[in-house]
Chains A and B, each alone.
Chain A
Amino acid sequence: GENVEQHPSTLSVQEGDSAVIKCTYSDSASNYFPWYKQELGKGPQLIIDIRSNVGEKKDQRIAVTLNKTAKHFSLHITETQPEDSAVYFCAASILIGSYGQNFVFGPGTRLSVLP
């Protein structure tokens, strides 16, 4: 089955610096890769996603890159702010039946942005 690894497990950066979180997956059939942000006491919230036919996607300060050959994808946050502090999860889709999907999540990265 699908296995998703995520590094680093913790990351501390100074406000204004960039943060990069990397994930690898094992199932070559995975074709959708969402990233979630989870704040304390809340459920995960989708922040950006990428499909397998795209190599890069950007939304303001957040970008995601995908290398299908190497089976890895990364989250990039630029100009970090204290409110970016949270736990970030990557996920990879797995096919269910002929058209359905669900997801395998990475173990998470705790990002701390220091003022």
Chain B
Amino acid sequence: EAGVAQSPRYKIIEKRQSVAFWCNPISGHATLYWYQQILGQGPKLLIQFQNNGVVDDSQLPKDRFSAERLKGVDSTLKIQPAKLEDSAVYLCASSLELAGFETQYFGPGTRLLVL
């Protein structure tokens, strides 16, 4: 079974530029999560989708971050414009369903450096 795929793996941009990350979850997984992991910290949830609907985006900085999962499969996370404090690893995870004790499977992450 293929895991969660993410691209790019690394990205370096200057502040105020825009950047987008892509995630392809495990086939058949209805729930998709985007996390931000700052160096030395645990992952922090940004947004959670169930199929193509948003379940929780309470911690997403909506003035600069946006995410979509139009067809209920792949997802993109965008930052526009980027700030220095956005430097982090962006992790995508998926799980089979929203309810119950479903295991989350994480991708390798995209490491973003904002200069």
Where the two chains meet, the residues of A that have a C-beta atom closer than 8 Å to any C-beta of B are: 4, 6, 32, 34, 36, 41-46, 49, 51, 89, 91, 93, 96-97, 99-108
On whether the beta carbons of B99 and A101 are closer than 8 Å, the reply is yes
Say yes or no: A51-B56 contact (C-beta < 8 A), given A44-B43, A44-B91: no
Task: Return chain B residues, CB-CB under 8 Å to A104.
Answer: 45
Number of interface residues of B (CB under 8 A): 25
Chain B 36-72 interface mask (CB, 8 Å, partner A; 1/0)? 0000111111001010000110000000000000000
On whether the beta carbons of A105 and B98 are closer than 8 Å, the reply is no
Closest to A97 in B: B55
CB distance from A101 to the nearest CB of B (A): 7
Measured CA separation A103–B37 after assembly (Å): 14
Measured CA separation A82–B16 after assembly (Å): 42
